[in-house]
């Protein structure tokens, strides 16, 4: 496997692992603050990020490279409120999108067209994740501090968490 591409994918593996841990910390915070729907959504999201990481690990190893399993730093454990949680999530996803774009760029420079093809799945995934985070943030801003609105929001997120799980398994095989 092309060394430069391998290194870039290993960096991406680390970012997906960081994403998984970050969303797990958000899930735990939400659970401790009575936001069970949000917690469920974040637990599913964390699992999804782990799936993204595993898919890359297997791809590198199957192509004759060596996937490096990263240690990740401790994610923050306190958040101001739900708006803060989703603002951080969106900022994180924007960073991940930039990283995926950089990976696409490296594949093209190295003329690694099969990896380029494989990475397109991540390009679409990032589009969806950023759009979802923006939609959620818009909703939260509309609700403002309204308690009834927050209750409904948390319940709605619980339902979207239920929808995330099948997409994770049917989207693409590892
Ligand atoms: Fe892996 O998609 Fe978010 O980070």
Cβ–ligand 1 contact at 48 (below 6 Å): no
- pTM, full prediction: 0.90
pLDDT recorded at residue 160: 73
- What does the pLDDT look like over 98-108, one tens digit per residue? 999 999 999 99
Give CA–CA dist 89/133, Å, rounded: 7
> Cα–Cα–Cα angle for 159, 141, 139, nearest 5°?
30
Q: Could you identify the residue written with the tokens 């496997």?
A: 1
- DSSP string covering 84-105: HHHHHHHHHHHHHHHHHHHHHH
pLDDT recorded at residue 130: 94
Fold of 3-169: Ferritin (1.20.1260)
pLDDT < 70 positions in the chain = 161-174
Q: 45 C-alpha vs ligand 1 centroid, how far in Å?
A: 9
Cβ–ligand 1 contact at 96 (below 6 Å): yes
Give CA–CA dist 163/4, Å, rounded: 37
Cβ–ligand 1 contact at 55 (below 6 Å): no
Give CA–CA dist 106/116, Å, rounded: 9
- What does the pLDDT look like over 64-106, one tens digit per residue? 999 999 999 999 999 999 999 999 999 999 999 999 999 999 9
User: No. of H helices and E strands in the chain?
Assistant: 5, 0
Q: 146 C-alpha vs ligand 1 centroid, how far in Å?
A: 30
Domain extents for the chain?
A: 3-169
């Amino acid at each position: 496997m092309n060394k430069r591409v391998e290194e870039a994918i290993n960096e991406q593996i680390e970012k997906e692992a960081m994403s998984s841990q970050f969303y797990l910390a958000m899930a735990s915070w939400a659970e401790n603050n009575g936001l069970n729907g949000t917690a469920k959504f974040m637990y599913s999201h964390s699992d999804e990020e782990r799936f993204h990481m595993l898919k890359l690990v297997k791809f590198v190893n199957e192509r004759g490279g060596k996937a490096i399993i990263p240690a990740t730093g401790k994610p923050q454990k306190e958040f101001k409120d739900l708006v803060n949680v989703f603002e951080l999530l969106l900022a994180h996803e924007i960073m991940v999108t930039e990283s995926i774009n950089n990976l696409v760029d490296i594949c093209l420079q190295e003329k690694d067209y099969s990896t380029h093809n494989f990475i397109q799945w991540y390009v679409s995934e990032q589009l969806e994740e950023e759009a979802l985070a923006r939609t959620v943030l818009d909703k939260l801003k509309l609700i403002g501090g309204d308690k009834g609105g927050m209750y409904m929001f948390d319940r709605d997120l619980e339902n979207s968490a239920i929808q995330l799980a099948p997409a994770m398994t049917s989207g693409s095989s590892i």
